[in-house]
């Protein structure tokens, strides 16, 4: 049944619905890749990872994000306290320019202090 739903959603280009069906099928990595590569929606990706509470999926999201400064910037905006910000920062390629990095780091430190 889910296979058919997936095929229909893919046929009509309903990517958000494809993500939902893939998640229901347990294809979490594939769903995350779709969110990041086709939808390019980091906030949705963070919510997806948090909802599924999968450490491996968190690492996958970080790996997908470090390829693009805009993705990293958006991830820093949306990670909250659910992710290890230090781990993310360690994986940022040396020399990569992240828009408004200083402000994003201040917010993270503030959020962690309040937790």
Q: Given this model, what pLDDT does residue 42 score?
A: 93
3-class DSSP state of 93: coil
Give yes or no for residue 80 having a pLDDT over 80. no
Q: Given this model, what pLDDT does residue 115 score?
A: 65
Q: Given this model, what pLDDT does residue 55 score?
A: 85
| Across 60-67, average pLDDT | 91
31 vs 15: CA distance, rounded Å: 9
Q: Given this model, what pLDDT does residue 48 score?
A: 96
Give yes or no for residue 103 having a pLDDT over 80. yes
């Amino acid at each position: 049944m889910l296979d058919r739903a997936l095929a229909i959603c893919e046929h009509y280009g309903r990517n958000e619905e494809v993500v939902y069906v893939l998640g229901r099928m347990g294809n979490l990595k594939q769903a995350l890749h779709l969110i990041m590569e086709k939808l390019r929606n980091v906030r949705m990706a963070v919510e997806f990872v948090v909802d599924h509470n999968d450490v491996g999926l968190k690492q996958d999201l970080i790996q997908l994000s470090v390829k693009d400064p805009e993705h990293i910037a958006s991830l820093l905006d949306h990670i909250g306290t659910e992710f290890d910000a230090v781990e993310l920062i360690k994986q940022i390629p040396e020399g990569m320019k992240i828009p408004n990095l200083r402000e994003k780091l201040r917010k993270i430190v503030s959020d962690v202090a309040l937790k």
